[in-house]
Every structure is written in C-alpha cells, then in structure tokens.
Amino acid sequence: MVSADFRLCEKKCGLKFLLVRVSVSLNGAFFFKRTRYKSHMRILMTGATGFIGQRLMQMLEPHQVTALVRKKIPNNGLVLPDWSASALHGVLATIPRPDCLIHVAGVTASLSQQGFFEGNAELTRRLMQVSHALWGDIRVIVISSLAAGGPSVLRTQKDLDAPCSWYGKSKLLAEQEAQAFYPQACLIRPPIVYGPEDRGLLVLARSIARGFGVVAGSKKRYSVIYVDDLCQSIVQAVSLTQSGVHYVAEREAISGYDLMATMAKVLKKPLYSLPDGLVPTMTACAAGGAQLIGLLRGKASALNWDKRREILPDHWVCEGMETVHRYYETMPQVIAAYQAKGWI
C-alpha cells in the first residue's frame, strides 16, 4: 500500500515546488520526491458543466483553464457544435498548445449499449486523436470510474479488470483509447462521488425524505469519495508524472445500510430494512420500470437496467487513502445543500 501527502513549498527565488512525501510498505521506510510545480499551466478540460467538472474548474485556479463544452459558459468556454472529429479539430486548432488535457466528460446513463460506447469510448478516441495530431505529447488525465475495474472486495492497481456493466466496459475502453495515443496517460478511477451538486445520491435522499427509505443487502459495501477530495487528487495529478490506473477513495468503505442510514438520521426519517434475498426481485422491478419510462420519454434515468448490473454485486471497494472529508461527517452538509436548493 502506498500513501502520499502533498505540500507546496516556495523558495526565496520565487520558484514553486510540489513536495511529495510517499509512504511505502517496504520496512516502513519513507522517501521524498520533489517535482517542479508550474503555478500557471495551460489546461484544456472537458466536462466542465457537470457535477465534478464545475468543482474542478474552481479548484484549478490559478491555472489558465479552457473548457471544451457543448453549451456556452461564463468563462473561457470553447463551444462545440458536436463531438465529431471535424468539429473538434476546427475548435481546438484555434487555441495554443495546452500543458495538460483533463478529460472528465462522459455518459453515465443511457438507454442502450451503443449510447455508452459512443459517449465514452468513441468520444475519447476522437478527442485523443485530434489533440495528438495537433499538439503531440502532452500531459493527459482521464477521469474514469471504479466501474471500469469492476466489483471487488478490495480492488487494487494490480487486479485484472472485470467490468460488469455496459457503463464500466465503455469506461475501460475509453481508458484504452486514451492510452493508444498517450501511453503515459493518468487514469483516475473514483468510486461513488458525493457532494452538494450530486444527483446520484439525491435519488436515495428523496426517497428517504418522502418516507420510502428502504434498504436491502446488509452485506454490501462501497467505497466513496467527496467531490472536493477527488478534485484535489486531480489537481495534484496535473503537476506530477504518474501514469496508469489510480484509485482514489476514502480509506474506509461503508456498508449499504450505513450509506442510507446516515441520510435517514440527518433527515429524521425512518429506514426500513428488507431481507437480502429480495434484492434481485426489487431491483428488477425498479430498474425495469425506470427503463420503460426512460424509453417512453426518450431519456435515460439514473436507475436503469444497466445500473442494476452494478447494484447486484455485494462489494464495490477499492484501495483508499487519507482524505479531508469523511462520509459520516460530510453528509449532513450535503443534505443541507439539497434542502437549500429545494431538491428535497
């Protein structure tokens, strides 16, 4: 197991360095690595309008960040008419060569397998192909998902990937597409990401707030990470040289029951437990119904048949690290943010 803490040091000459203290399990020894830290890097970023991307944009200051978006945003946004290779080339050719490309954009819900692979793998292939043709080798960071590795009691970098969903398979292929053009790409795989703007756990919070908080699957365990901790890891990765797969999560995994019980406690609502044996039937009914509604509306919901493939396994746990935030301590703030926005 390797853990690290990061500190910014500044000499009298004004140069900044990122001092990285890395703890390795070899006889409890420590070693230090000093990496030059550029305080003003040119960064090109996708997914800036999403839950993670909005927060990351704020935390990337004072870097010069240009966002590649489909709809206009207030600051430094390059608007794409579509994600075709010709559109990408036409827009990206107008900007200076970036020091780093952070690819956050992707599809998390789709009504079809094709939708996942088009929105994740194919989009990544076109982006990497065009950027490499224009600028050659640059620092590339891809925000992937634990789903690309698959469920596990404790997933590490050394484990073979075994995604169980279309989403996970499309994210794994997206990583491979990035590495085909940039072998030294840094692939960050977060688990469940939560925070004030997150609409994933919002579905659970709403059901609890309405008095329909039902939990089943007492053996289930999940890794989680607060959005600020994830974004801080990405910011640090910009200035480092690590490549390959990296899991980022809170050190302690939480049970499926605690995941919901913490929200129920904050909302002061009851939580009803059901036998584990009902999980397959319950999820089939709920996901099947949501999938049908999505097909009728022409828009996928957060709960769908592909998501059911990820709900059934008992363990979604990866190696963790020391983080500033903890789920049990931070969830009250998240619920308060939901309520302030009128979401629940």
Residues 197/55, Cβ–Cβ less than 8 Å: yes
Question: Please, what is the average pLDDT of the chain?
Answer: 84
List pLDDT tens digits, range 98-137: 999 999 999 998 888 999 999 999 999 999 999 999 999 9
The predicted-structure confidence for 155-198, as pLDDT tens digits, reads as follows 999 999 999 999 999 999 999 999 999 999 999 999 999 999 88
Average pLDDT estimate for 194-214 = 88
Would you say residue 71 has pLDDT above 60? yes
The pair of structure tokens assigned to 274 is 């059901």
Residue 123 vs residues 13, 78, 162, 169: alpha-carbon distances, Å: 43, 16, 22, 14
Phi, psi of 288 (to 5 degrees): -65, -45
Annotated domain spans of the chain? 3-33, 39-197+223-254
238 neighbors 41 (Cβ within 8 angstroms): yes
Distance CA(238)–CA(230), nearest Å, equals: 13
- The pTM for the full model equals 0.84
Positive/negative CA dihedral, 20, 63, 172, 95: negative
From CA 319, how far away is CA 115, in angstroms rounded? 30
From residue 161, alpha-carbon distances to 155, 169, 189, 191, 323 in Å are 9, 9, 12, 15, 25
Q: Are 140 and 129 in contact (CB under 8 A)?
A: no
* Burial readout 305-320 (b: 16 or more C-beta within 10 A, e: otherwise): bbbbbbbeebbbbbbb
3-state SS class at 103: strand
CATH 3.40.50.10580 at 39-197+223-254, yes or no: no
* pLDDT classification of 34: cutoffs 50, 70, 90: very low
Residue 299 has pLDDT above 90, yes or no: no
